[in-house]
Amino acid sequence: MQHDTFLAGRTRNMGSSAIREILKLAARPDIISLGGGMPSPDAFPTEFIDELYRRAMDHYGTEALQYTRTEGFPALRKALVDHLAGQNIEVGADEVFVTTGSQSVLDAMGKILVSPGDHIAVEAPTYLGALQAFNPYEPSYVQIDTDEYGLIPESLERVIAEHNPKFAYLSPTFQNPTGRTLSLDRRKQVAEIIRRSDTLVIEDDPYGALRYRGEWAPPIQTFAPEQVVYTGSFSKVFAPGLRVGYYVAPERVRQWLVIAKQGVDLNTSSLTQALCTEFIAGGYHDRHLPKIIEIYRPKQEVMLEEMKRHFPDSFTWTQPDGGMFIWAEGPAEADMEKIYEEGIRNKVAFVPGKFFYSDPESGRATMRLNFTVNSEENIRTAIERLGASIRNVLSG
Ligand SMILES: Cc1ncc(COP(=O)(O)O)c(C=O)c1O
Protein backbone atom coordinates (compact mmCIF):
# COMPACT_ATOMS: atom_id res chain seq x y z
CA MET A 1 0.00 0.00 0.00
CA GLN A 2 1.29 3.48 -0.93
CA HIS A 3 0.59 5.22 2.36
CA ASP A 4 2.20 8.43 1.12
CA THR A 5 -0.68 8.99 -1.28
CA PHE A 6 -3.02 9.42 1.71
CA LEU A 7 -1.01 12.15 3.38
CA ALA A 8 -2.52 15.63 3.71
CA GLY A 9 -0.85 18.42 1.77
CA ARG A 10 0.21 20.10 5.01
CA THR A 11 2.60 17.23 5.79
CA ARG A 12 4.87 18.70 3.08
CA ASN A 13 5.75 21.35 5.66
CA MET A 14 6.16 18.93 8.56
CA GLY A 15 9.42 17.10 7.79
CA SER A 16 10.91 15.44 10.88
CA SER A 17 13.42 17.94 12.10
CA ALA A 18 16.89 17.69 10.60
CA ILE A 19 18.19 18.42 14.07
CA ARG A 20 16.95 15.03 15.26
CA GLU A 21 18.91 13.31 12.55
CA ILE A 22 22.04 15.21 13.38
CA LEU A 23 21.67 14.64 17.13
CA LYS A 24 21.27 10.88 16.66
CA LEU A 25 25.06 10.78 16.38
CA ALA A 26 25.30 12.69 19.66
CA ALA A 27 23.47 9.89 21.49
CA ARG A 28 26.56 7.65 21.39
CA PRO A 29 27.62 6.95 24.98
CA ASP A 30 31.22 8.01 24.34
CA ILE A 31 30.12 11.49 23.20
CA ILE A 32 29.52 14.41 25.56
CA SER A 33 26.54 16.22 24.11
CA LEU A 34 25.95 19.92 24.66
CA GLY A 35 23.21 19.61 22.07
CA GLY A 36 20.20 18.74 24.22
CA GLY A 37 17.75 21.22 25.62
CA MET A 38 16.61 19.34 28.68
CA PRO A 39 16.68 20.27 32.36
CA SER A 40 19.02 18.30 34.60
CA PRO A 41 17.32 15.35 36.35
CA ASP A 42 19.16 16.60 39.48
CA ALA A 43 16.83 19.62 39.34
CA PHE A 44 13.68 17.51 39.63
CA PRO A 45 12.00 17.57 43.05
CA THR A 46 12.13 13.79 43.58
CA GLU A 47 12.49 14.31 47.34
CA PHE A 48 8.98 15.74 47.75
CA ILE A 49 7.00 14.41 44.79
CA ASP A 50 5.38 11.75 47.06
CA GLU A 51 4.37 14.48 49.48
CA LEU A 52 2.81 16.52 46.67
CA TYR A 53 0.90 13.48 45.49
CA ARG A 54 -0.42 12.80 49.01
CA ARG A 55 -1.46 16.45 49.40
CA ALA A 56 -3.20 16.37 46.02
CA MET A 57 -5.16 13.26 47.01
CA ASP A 58 -6.07 14.77 50.41
CA HIS A 59 -7.23 18.05 48.87
CA TYR A 60 -8.86 16.94 45.63
CA GLY A 61 -9.47 13.17 45.93
CA THR A 62 -11.10 11.73 42.83
CA GLU A 63 -11.40 15.21 41.27
CA ALA A 64 -7.70 14.84 40.45
CA LEU A 65 -8.46 11.62 38.56
CA GLN A 66 -11.58 12.81 36.73
CA TYR A 67 -11.81 14.76 33.46
CA THR A 68 -11.52 18.44 34.26
CA ARG A 69 -12.38 21.73 32.53
CA THR A 70 -10.69 22.42 29.21
CA GLU A 71 -9.76 25.84 30.65
CA GLY A 72 -7.79 24.18 33.46
CA PHE A 73 -8.06 22.50 36.89
CA PRO A 74 -9.92 25.15 38.94
CA ALA A 75 -7.53 25.06 41.93
CA LEU A 76 -4.52 25.49 39.65
CA ARG A 77 -6.07 28.47 37.87
CA LYS A 78 -6.58 30.07 41.28
CA ALA A 79 -3.04 29.30 42.41
CA LEU A 80 -1.64 30.72 39.18
CA VAL A 81 -3.20 34.12 39.92
CA ASP A 82 -0.69 34.80 42.74
CA HIS A 83 2.10 33.14 40.80
CA LEU A 84 1.53 35.47 37.84
CA ALA A 85 1.11 38.51 40.10
CA GLY A 86 4.77 37.89 41.03
CA GLN A 87 5.53 38.71 37.37
CA ASN A 88 3.36 41.87 37.50
CA ILE A 89 0.70 40.04 35.44
CA GLU A 90 -2.59 41.00 37.05
CA VAL A 91 -5.39 38.58 36.14
CA GLY A 92 -8.30 36.74 37.76
CA ALA A 93 -8.56 32.94 37.89
CA ASP A 94 -10.97 32.91 34.95
CA GLU A 95 -8.35 34.69 32.84
CA VAL A 96 -5.62 32.03 33.27
CA PHE A 97 -5.69 28.92 31.10
CA VAL A 98 -3.82 25.65 31.49
CA THR A 99 -2.32 23.73 28.59
CA THR A 100 -0.36 20.59 27.87
CA GLY A 101 3.04 22.26 28.05
CA SER A 102 3.55 25.67 26.54
CA GLN A 103 4.30 23.88 23.28
CA SER A 104 0.60 23.22 22.75
CA VAL A 105 -0.17 26.96 22.98
CA LEU A 106 2.12 27.48 20.00
CA ASP A 107 0.29 24.84 17.96
CA ALA A 108 -3.11 26.23 18.96
CA MET A 109 -2.10 29.76 17.96
CA GLY A 110 -1.11 28.47 14.53
CA LYS A 111 -4.36 26.55 14.28
CA ILE A 112 -6.70 29.44 15.09
CA LEU A 113 -4.82 32.26 13.35
CA VAL A 114 -2.79 31.07 10.38
CA SER A 115 -4.09 30.33 6.90
CA PRO A 116 -1.61 29.12 4.25
CA GLY A 117 0.66 31.98 3.17
CA ASP A 118 -0.05 34.22 6.19
CA HIS A 119 3.00 35.85 7.67
CA ILE A 120 4.43 35.04 11.07
CA ALA A 121 7.24 37.23 12.37
CA VAL A 122 9.98 35.40 14.29
CA GLU A 123 13.25 36.45 15.86
CA ALA A 124 16.41 35.48 13.99
CA PRO A 125 17.31 33.05 15.54
CA THR A 126 14.20 31.62 17.18
CA TYR A 127 13.00 28.51 19.04
CA LEU A 128 13.01 25.60 16.62
CA GLY A 129 10.00 23.99 18.32
CA ALA A 130 7.93 27.09 17.53
CA LEU A 131 8.73 26.73 13.83
CA GLN A 132 7.71 23.06 14.06
CA ALA A 133 4.44 24.01 15.76
CA PHE A 134 3.57 26.64 13.13
CA ASN A 135 4.79 24.81 10.01
CA PRO A 136 1.69 22.58 9.48
CA TYR A 137 -0.39 25.74 9.06
CA GLU A 138 1.81 26.69 6.07
CA PRO A 139 2.89 30.19 7.06
CA SER A 140 5.45 32.45 5.37
CA TYR A 141 8.02 33.52 7.92
CA VAL A 142 9.57 36.95 8.18
CA GLN A 143 12.65 37.39 10.34
CA ILE A 144 13.11 40.11 12.94
CA ASP A 145 16.75 41.19 13.24
CA THR A 146 18.48 40.78 16.58
CA ASP A 147 21.71 42.00 18.12
CA GLU A 148 23.55 41.15 21.33
CA TYR A 149 20.65 42.64 23.32
CA GLY A 150 17.91 40.57 21.64
CA LEU A 151 15.37 41.65 19.05
CA ILE A 152 15.78 45.11 17.53
CA PRO A 153 12.50 47.05 17.97
CA GLU A 154 13.01 49.07 14.74
CA SER A 155 13.27 45.81 12.82
CA LEU A 156 10.02 44.56 14.37
CA GLU A 157 8.38 47.83 13.36
CA ARG A 158 9.62 47.48 9.78
CA VAL A 159 8.52 43.83 9.54
CA ILE A 160 5.04 44.76 10.77
CA ALA A 161 4.74 47.68 8.34
CA GLU A 162 5.94 45.62 5.36
CA HIS A 163 4.32 42.23 6.02
CA ASN A 164 1.38 42.75 8.37
CA PRO A 165 2.04 39.42 10.17
CA LYS A 166 -0.77 37.47 11.87
CA PHE A 167 1.41 37.53 14.95
CA ALA A 168 5.00 37.89 16.10
CA TYR A 169 6.49 35.04 18.13
CA LEU A 170 8.95 36.41 20.72
CA SER A 171 10.91 34.95 23.59
CA PRO A 172 12.29 38.00 25.39
CA THR A 173 13.79 36.33 28.49
CA PHE A 174 16.79 33.93 28.32
CA GLN A 175 15.79 33.06 24.79
CA ASN A 176 16.25 29.60 23.39
CA PRO A 177 18.70 29.41 21.57
CA THR A 178 20.74 32.55 22.46
CA GLY A 179 20.07 33.05 26.18
CA ARG A 180 19.56 36.77 25.46
CA THR A 181 17.17 38.94 27.44
CA LEU A 182 15.45 42.05 26.18
CA SER A 183 16.06 45.19 28.27
CA LEU A 184 13.23 47.03 29.99
CA ASP A 185 13.54 49.89 27.48
CA ARG A 186 13.22 47.57 24.53
CA ARG A 187 10.25 45.78 26.12
CA LYS A 188 8.48 49.12 26.42
CA GLN A 189 9.40 50.00 22.84
CA VAL A 190 8.05 46.65 21.61
CA ALA A 191 4.84 47.19 23.59
CA GLU A 192 4.45 50.65 22.07
CA ILE A 193 4.98 49.31 18.54
CA ILE A 194 2.48 46.45 18.89
CA ARG A 195 -0.10 48.69 20.56
CA ARG A 196 0.22 51.30 17.83
CA SER A 197 0.05 48.74 15.00
CA ASP A 198 -2.42 46.46 16.84
CA THR A 199 -0.18 43.46 16.31
CA LEU A 200 -0.65 40.22 18.23
CA VAL A 201 2.43 38.80 19.97
CA ILE A 202 3.13 35.44 21.57
CA GLU A 203 5.46 36.06 24.51
CA ASP A 204 6.97 32.66 25.27
CA ASP A 205 8.55 32.61 28.73
CA PRO A 206 9.54 29.12 29.93
CA TYR A 207 12.97 30.21 31.27
CA GLY A 208 12.20 33.49 33.07
CA ALA A 209 12.52 32.01 36.57
CA LEU A 210 16.00 30.61 35.89
CA ARG A 211 17.83 33.86 36.68
CA TYR A 212 21.42 33.52 37.95
CA ARG A 213 22.27 37.24 38.10
CA GLY A 214 21.11 40.62 36.85
CA GLU A 215 17.86 42.45 37.19
CA TRP A 216 14.38 41.16 36.48
CA ALA A 217 12.24 43.00 33.92
CA PRO A 218 8.45 42.68 33.62
CA PRO A 219 6.98 40.74 30.70
CA ILE A 220 5.95 42.67 27.57
CA GLN A 221 2.42 41.50 28.39
CA THR A 222 2.28 43.89 31.34
CA PHE A 223 2.71 46.86 28.96
CA ALA A 224 0.34 45.62 26.23
CA PRO A 225 -2.14 43.08 27.66
CA GLU A 226 -4.57 43.46 24.74
CA GLN A 227 -1.88 42.54 22.22
CA VAL A 228 -0.01 39.74 24.01
CA VAL A 229 -0.57 36.03 24.59
CA TYR A 230 1.83 35.32 27.46
CA THR A 231 2.75 31.69 28.04
CA GLY A 232 4.65 30.04 30.88
CA SER A 233 5.50 26.47 31.83
CA PHE A 234 6.23 24.14 34.75
CA SER A 235 8.73 22.23 32.60
CA LYS A 236 11.87 24.07 33.71
CA VAL A 237 10.93 24.81 37.33
CA PHE A 238 9.24 21.50 38.23
CA ALA A 239 9.45 18.75 35.58
CA PRO A 240 8.75 18.57 31.84
CA GLY A 241 7.27 15.08 32.27
CA LEU A 242 4.18 16.63 33.87
CA ARG A 243 3.36 18.48 30.63
CA VAL A 244 1.76 21.50 32.28
CA GLY A 245 1.92 25.01 30.83
CA TYR A 246 -0.35 28.02 31.07
CA TYR A 247 -1.23 31.23 29.28
CA VAL A 248 -2.94 34.58 29.63
CA ALA A 249 -4.51 36.05 26.48
CA PRO A 250 -6.92 38.70 25.20
CA GLU A 251 -10.52 37.54 25.55
CA ARG A 252 -11.38 36.71 21.94
CA VAL A 253 -8.11 34.83 21.41
CA ARG A 254 -8.50 32.74 24.56
CA GLN A 255 -12.06 31.78 23.60
CA TRP A 256 -10.72 30.31 20.37
CA LEU A 257 -7.74 28.69 22.06
CA VAL A 258 -10.15 26.85 24.38
CA ILE A 259 -12.29 25.70 21.44
CA ALA A 260 -9.16 24.44 19.68
CA LYS A 261 -8.05 22.56 22.80
CA GLN A 262 -11.42 20.85 23.25
CA GLY A 263 -10.84 18.98 20.02
CA VAL A 264 -7.22 18.09 20.77
CA ASP A 265 -7.09 16.67 24.31
CA LEU A 266 -10.28 17.78 26.17
CA ASN A 267 -8.13 18.79 29.11
CA THR A 268 -4.55 18.67 30.35
CA SER A 269 -3.94 15.85 32.88
CA SER A 270 -5.96 16.63 36.02
CA LEU A 271 -3.49 14.70 38.14
CA THR A 272 -0.41 16.62 37.07
CA GLN A 273 -2.35 19.89 37.34
CA ALA A 274 -3.22 18.93 40.93
CA LEU A 275 0.49 18.31 41.62
CA CYS A 276 1.35 21.72 40.12
CA THR A 277 -1.31 23.35 42.31
CA GLU A 278 0.30 21.94 45.46
CA PHE A 279 3.76 22.79 44.11
CA ILE A 280 2.94 26.49 43.98
CA ALA A 281 0.18 26.93 46.59
CA GLY A 282 2.10 24.82 49.17
CA GLY A 283 5.23 27.01 48.86
CA TYR A 284 7.32 24.20 47.31
CA HIS A 285 8.08 26.23 44.18
CA ASP A 286 9.55 29.11 46.16
CA ARG A 287 11.73 26.75 48.21
CA HIS A 288 12.79 24.60 45.26
CA LEU A 289 13.66 27.28 42.67
CA PRO A 290 16.83 28.49 44.50
CA LYS A 291 18.08 24.87 44.47
CA ILE A 292 17.68 24.65 40.70
CA ILE A 293 19.50 27.95 40.31
CA GLU A 294 22.34 26.71 42.50
CA ILE A 295 22.68 23.65 40.25
CA TYR A 296 22.73 25.62 36.98
CA ARG A 297 24.63 28.79 37.82
CA PRO A 298 28.01 27.11 38.49
CA LYS A 299 27.64 24.94 35.39
CA GLN A 300 27.10 28.03 33.28
CA GLU A 301 30.09 29.77 34.91
CA VAL A 302 32.31 26.78 34.17
CA MET A 303 31.20 26.72 30.55
CA LEU A 304 31.85 30.44 30.08
CA GLU A 305 35.29 30.17 31.74
CA GLU A 306 36.30 27.20 29.63
CA MET A 307 35.13 28.88 26.43
CA LYS A 308 37.42 31.79 27.24
CA ARG A 309 40.33 29.36 27.59
CA HIS A 310 39.67 27.13 24.59
CA PHE A 311 37.74 29.01 21.90
CA PRO A 312 39.69 30.99 19.28
CA ASP A 313 39.70 34.81 19.53
CA SER A 314 37.67 35.00 16.32
CA PHE A 315 34.64 33.60 18.21
CA THR A 316 32.15 35.62 20.25
CA TRP A 317 29.44 34.28 22.55
CA THR A 318 26.57 35.38 24.75
CA GLN A 319 26.92 35.83 28.54
CA PRO A 320 23.32 35.13 29.56
CA ASP A 321 22.02 36.12 32.99
CA GLY A 322 19.97 32.90 33.10
CA GLY A 323 18.29 30.12 31.14
CA MET A 324 19.89 27.00 29.74
CA PHE A 325 21.93 28.00 26.69
CA ILE A 326 24.96 29.86 25.41
CA TRP A 327 25.11 30.96 21.78
CA ALA A 328 28.43 31.28 19.97
CA GLU A 329 29.32 32.75 16.62
CA GLY A 330 32.50 32.23 14.63
CA PRO A 331 33.99 34.03 11.64
CA ALA A 332 32.18 33.60 8.29
CA GLU A 333 34.48 30.68 7.33
CA ALA A 334 33.48 28.68 10.46
CA ASP A 335 31.20 26.12 8.82
CA MET A 336 29.40 24.63 11.82
CA GLU A 337 28.39 21.49 9.99
CA LYS A 338 32.07 20.69 9.39
CA ILE A 339 32.86 21.61 13.00
CA TYR A 340 30.02 19.34 14.11
CA GLU A 341 31.52 16.40 12.19
CA GLU A 342 34.96 17.13 13.63
CA GLY A 343 33.36 17.43 17.09
CA ILE A 344 31.81 13.98 16.73
CA ARG A 345 35.26 12.61 15.84
CA ASN A 346 36.53 14.26 19.04
CA LYS A 347 33.54 12.96 21.05
CA VAL A 348 31.64 16.20 21.61
CA ALA A 349 28.32 17.41 20.14
CA PHE A 350 26.35 20.68 19.93
CA VAL A 351 23.57 22.05 17.76
CA PRO A 352 24.66 23.99 14.67
CA GLY A 353 22.82 27.32 14.91
CA LYS A 354 21.37 27.35 11.40
CA PHE A 355 18.50 25.14 12.57
CA PHE A 356 17.13 28.00 14.64
CA TYR A 357 16.46 30.30 11.69
CA SER A 358 13.35 30.34 9.53
CA ASP A 359 15.64 31.34 6.63
CA PRO A 360 17.81 28.28 5.83
CA GLU A 361 20.67 30.50 4.61
CA SER A 362 21.15 32.22 7.98
CA GLY A 363 23.35 31.31 10.92
CA ARG A 364 25.92 29.05 9.24
CA ALA A 365 28.69 30.15 11.63
CA THR A 366 26.65 29.87 14.84
CA MET A 367 26.18 27.18 17.51
CA ARG A 368 23.97 26.54 20.56
CA LEU A 369 25.49 25.03 23.68
CA ASN A 370 23.46 23.65 26.59
CA PHE A 371 24.98 23.75 30.08
CA THR A 372 22.26 22.24 32.29
CA VAL A 373 22.56 18.50 31.67
CA ASN A 374 26.26 17.67 32.00
CA SER A 375 28.42 17.63 35.12
CA GLU A 376 30.94 20.46 35.54
CA GLU A 377 33.73 17.99 34.81
CA ASN A 378 32.10 16.88 31.55
CA ILE A 379 31.49 20.51 30.57
CA ARG A 380 35.23 21.20 30.99
CA THR A 381 36.15 18.19 28.86
CA ALA A 382 33.51 18.98 26.24
CA ILE A 383 34.58 22.60 25.78
CA GLU A 384 38.24 21.60 25.53
CA ARG A 385 37.32 19.07 22.82
CA LEU A 386 35.12 21.59 21.06
CA GLY A 387 37.84 24.26 21.10
CA ALA A 388 40.25 21.75 19.51
CA SER A 389 37.62 20.75 16.91
CA ILE A 390 37.05 24.39 15.94
CA ARG A 391 40.79 25.03 15.59
CA ASN A 392 41.26 21.87 13.50
CA VAL A 393 38.55 22.93 11.04
CA LEU A 394 39.62 26.58 10.86
CA SER A 395 43.27 25.70 10.25
CA GLY A 396 42.48 22.85 7.84
C1 LIG B 1 11.29 28.61 24.08
C2 LIG B 1 10.51 27.38 24.40
N3 LIG B 1 9.18 27.43 24.35
C4 LIG B 1 8.42 26.36 24.64
C5 LIG B 1 8.99 25.16 25.00
C6 LIG B 1 8.09 23.99 25.28
O7 LIG B 1 8.04 23.76 26.63
P8 LIG B 1 6.91 22.88 27.33
O9 LIG B 1 7.63 21.75 27.96
O10 LIG B 1 6.27 23.81 28.31
O11 LIG B 1 5.94 22.43 26.28
C12 LIG B 1 10.38 25.05 25.07
C13 LIG B 1 11.00 23.77 25.44
O14 LIG B 1 12.17 23.59 25.52
C15 LIG B 1 11.16 26.18 24.76
O16 LIG B 1 12.49 26.15 24.79
For every residue of 226-260, DSSP letters joined together read TTEEEEEESTTTT-GGG--EEEE--HHHHHHHHHH
Whether the bond into 225 is cis, omega within 30 of 0? no
Ligand 1 centre to CA of 239 (Å) is 12
Cα 396 from Cα 391, distance rounded (Å): 8
- Give the C-alpha separation, 79 to 96, whole Å: 10
Is the Cβ atom of 175 under 6 angstroms away from ligand 1?
A: no
The string of pLDDT tens digits covering residues 333-354 is 999 999 999 999 999 999 999 9
CA–centroid distance, residue 247 to ligand 1 (Å): 13
How crowded is residue 58: how many other Cβ atoms within 10 Å of its Cβ?
9
CA–chain centroid gap for 209, Å, is 12
Rounded Cα–Cα distance for residues 348 and 107 (Å): 33
Q: Give tens-digit pLDDT for 51-61.
A: 999 999 999 99
16 pLDDT higher than 70: no
pLDDT tens sequence across 211-268: 999 999 999 999 999 999 999 999 999 999 999 999 999 999 999 999 999 999 999 9
Using CB atoms within 10 Å of the CB of residue 100, give its burial: 0 to 12 exposed, 13 to 18 middle, 19+ buried.
Answer: buried
Q: Vertex 382, ends 377 and 385: CA angle to 5°?
A: 130
Q: Pocket of ligand 1, candidates 109, 176, 178, 238: which has the most ligand atoms within 8 Å of its Cβ, to mutate?
A: 176
Q: At what angle do helices 376-395 and 336-345 cross, to 10 degrees?
A: 120
User: Residues 168-179: what's their mean pLDDT?
Assistant: 98
Q: Which domains does the chain have, with CATH numbers?
A: 3-45+287-395 (3.90.1150.10), 66-285 (3.40.640.10)
Percent helix, strand and coil across the chain, each to the nearest 5: 50, 15, 35
Q: Write the pLDDT tens digit of every residue in 63-119.
A: 999 999 999 999 999 999 999 999 999 999 999 999 999 999 999 999 999 999 999
Nearest CA residue ID for atom 14, ligand 1: 37
CA distance readout (Å), 219 to 120, 196, 204, 224, 235:
21, 18, 10, 9, 19
Does the CB atom of residue 372 touch ligand 1 within 6 A? no
Considering only CA atoms, give the Rg of the chain: 21
| Residue 298: predicted pLDDT | 98
Tell me, in angstroms, the distance from the centre of ligand 1 to residue 6's CA.
Answer: 31
Say yes or no: CB of residue 322 within 6 Å of ligand 1.
no
Confidence check: pLDDT of 5 > 90: no
Its pTM stands at 0.97
Query: pLDDT tens digit string along 288-327?
Result: 999 999 999 999 999 999 999 999 999 999 999 999 999 9
The residue whose CA has the least distance to atom 6 of ligand 1 is: 103
Closest CA to 220 of 255, 156, 174, 170: 170
Distance CA 384, CA 32 (A): 11
CA of 383 to the centre of ligand 1 (A): 25
Q: Quick one: pLDDT at residue 355?
A: 93
